[in-house]
Amino acid sequence: MKEGFVPSGTARIHYELHGEENTKGLILVHGNGGSIRYFDDQIEFFKKYYKVLAIDSRGHGESTFGQGSLSLTVMADDLYNIAMNFGFYKFDLLGFSDGASISMYFAMKHNDMLDNLILYGGNLNPWGVKLSFQVPVFVSYQVNRLASFLNPAMANLNKEYLGLMVNEPYIVPEDLSKITARTLVLAGKRDLIRSSHTKKIYRCLPNAELKIIPGDHFVSKKDPENFNNTVWDFLRKA
């Protein structure tokens, strides 16, 4: 395993690289508030078949914020810079939650770099999330916005993370037609993403499969064996 930092704009992005050098690349992009560690079970499984590059998104884990507020589009640019740094000119990409949205932004600009894309628990806009989850997030965001003025050191990090969920993403469904890479749209049966929204993403992609598996939004962590086998069944058929 190798690890370190790659400069991207004004930020330094932390990475881990696992697997054999002469194998195909697979990049993993975690969700809001997470880190590389969310994918420990996936790294252990997929490093047998891939050179796995796992990254801490900007402002997450050991990666720095850089200048300005967090943005999924900027994180998608970070993903491009990191792929170029490691010579991943054609690779497979797995994004979870906000990582799936980052992956969609990336794929709309750099579809030619992708063989296979896995979008797990992603959304096109904030209202693709069930109200039972989104309303408390919105309230917490407003509280943290106020707290950040009163005590910036205490509240600013939460405000940034919550702000991503309240304000982003905003992906135009028709723009998904730009993604012609073979794609697996994946969600849990009890996911916090609306099932109708997941199906909309699937329908808008020209070369996609849809798979709903038992579990919730965090099924890859709670049931990694089923999740990994589902993803691997899709990838090995390519």
Answer yes or no: are the C-beta atoms of 68 and 126 closer than 8 Å.
no
Which own/partner pairs from 137-140 qualify as long-range (CB within 8 Å, at least 24 positions apart)? 137/162, 137/165, 137/166, 138/166
Letter for the amino acid at 97? S
Answer yes or no: are the C-beta atoms of 170 and 79 closer than 8 Å.
no
> Where in the chain are the domains?
2-125+169-236, 130-168
**35-61 pLDDT, tens digit each:** 999 999 999 999 999 999 999 999 999
Task: Return the residue matching tokens 């997929």.
Answer: 46
**121-163 pLDDT, tens digit each:** 999 998 888 755 454 445 454 555 555 555 555 445 566 766 6
The pLDDT score that the predictor gives to residue 91 is 98
Three-state DSSP state, 116: strand
Fold adopted by 2-125+169-236:
Rossmann fold (3.40.50)
From CA 187, how far away is CA 198, in angstroms rounded?
7
DSSP string computed for 127-149: GGB-HHHHHHHHHHHHHHHHHHH
Three-state DSSP state, 117: strand
Letter for the amino acid at 180? T
Task: Please give the mean pLDDT across all residues of the chain.
Answer: 90
